[in-house]
A and B are shown apart, each in its own frame.
Chain A
């Protein structure tokens, strides 16, 4: 197994961990964090495949894409947090489908 394989497989694993969190966690903050873990996985894969030919300079294109991706992730995270915060302000809970999961209402505190 080459170094590139290690990176890209680790990236895929991170992506899937984030995906699982995104699907199973009703709390919006957890979903935002899960999305961030997923994007970290994507960046891992991109940085990994940039260097897949041993002995050459890394492909600058995936690097540029990661650079773009980091910034977009930051802004989408901030926007998601602002939405979650506003949902909490309006409804008193920051979890989706509060009626659908086995949890007590945490409104009002």
Chain B
């Protein structure tokens, strides 16, 4: 591969150092200036936790009080995945390319771990209602299970078509926005859960978010982890 990593010329490094020192000083002043007597929006969250439908404050903030953030977040995730898949030269976006580098010990381990990880993810999803947990943690565990399977040589099962993978990537966003619009049709505001249905709707959204986040993380990893084949195609076998 390439030579030793280049550095920028000295004047640029000195200028960068000066800028960073300035930014660092300003940042330190700013973070030290935050008063230690007020606790921000925590009292407001505590006061309204009862109405949110869940008992965990972080989940209440993510899915209810600031559901708009989370809706946009899953949109960002989906767009990034679409971008990554479109940039891939081979247009594969599946886990066939790295499946060739299988390791028998790793694949035996993966067979043990993958079901456990899916179970853990289900637990995290459910625990998010009253304890630390929720869709993003659960989705990360699903994604990790998928990455582990991909690394240990389990090719994409035939029953998961490319369409199914893309559907899984987008289902979280679709369900989330459908719920948000449904609430508007039912007479509320965007993402204003009706009090009696809040918990059910949030669990519904979180379940499909978990599926999507898992699929997205696996797709991002697979698309990023298969450079050799693409480069060999272009530069004639050197990679």
Contact = CB atoms under 8 A, between A and B. Distances in A.
Interface of A: 2, 4-5, 8-9, 11-13, 15-17, 19-20, 23-27, 30, 45, 48-50, 52-54, 56-65, 67-68, 70-72, 74-76, 78-79, 81-83, 85-86, 88-89, 92-95, 101-104, 106, 108-109
B1 A61 contact: no
B231 interface: yes
B57 interface: yes
B136 A71 contact: yes
Interface in B183-239: 213, 216-217, 220-221, 223-224, 227, 230-231, 234-235, 238
B73 A52 contact: no
A104 B3 contact: yes
Nearest to B36: A52
Q: Tell me the dominant secondary structure on chain A's binding face.
A: helix
A68 B70 contact: yes
B45 A60 contact: yes
Contact of A89 (B60, B221, B231): B231
A20 B16 contact: yes
B127 to A, nearest CB: 14
- Most chain A CB within a 10 A radius of its CB, from B60, B88, B224: B224
A71 B27 CA distance: 24
A9 B87 contact: no
Contact of B83 (A5, A54, A79): A79
A17 B19 CA distance: 11
Contacts of B38: 53
Interface residues of B, number: 64
Contact of A75 (B42, B58, B77): B77
A101 B9 contact: yes
Nearest to A107: B2
A67 B58 CA distance: 9
A23 B58 CA distance: 35
Interface of B: 1-3, 5-9, 12-13, 16-17, 19-21, 23-24, 27-28, 31-32, 34, 36-42, 45-46, 57-58, 60-62, 66, 69-70, 73, 76-77, 80-81, 83-84, 87-89, 134, 136, 213, 216-217, 220-221, 223-224, 227, 230-231, 234-235, 238
A78 B80 contact: yes
A95 B4 CA distance: 12
A6 B20 CA distance: 19
22 contacts: A5-B31, A16-B21, A16-B27, A19-B19, A25-B5, A27-B6, A49-B34, A52-B36, A53-B37, A53-B39, A59-B40, A59-B41, A61-B45, A64-B69, A78-B84, A78-B221, A85-B227, A86-B87, A89-B89, A106-B1, A106-B2, A109-B238
A60 B42 contact: yes
B216 A101 contact: no
Contacts of B3: 103-104, 106
Contact of A49 (B5, B23, B31): B31
Nearest to B220: A78
B32 A59 contact: no
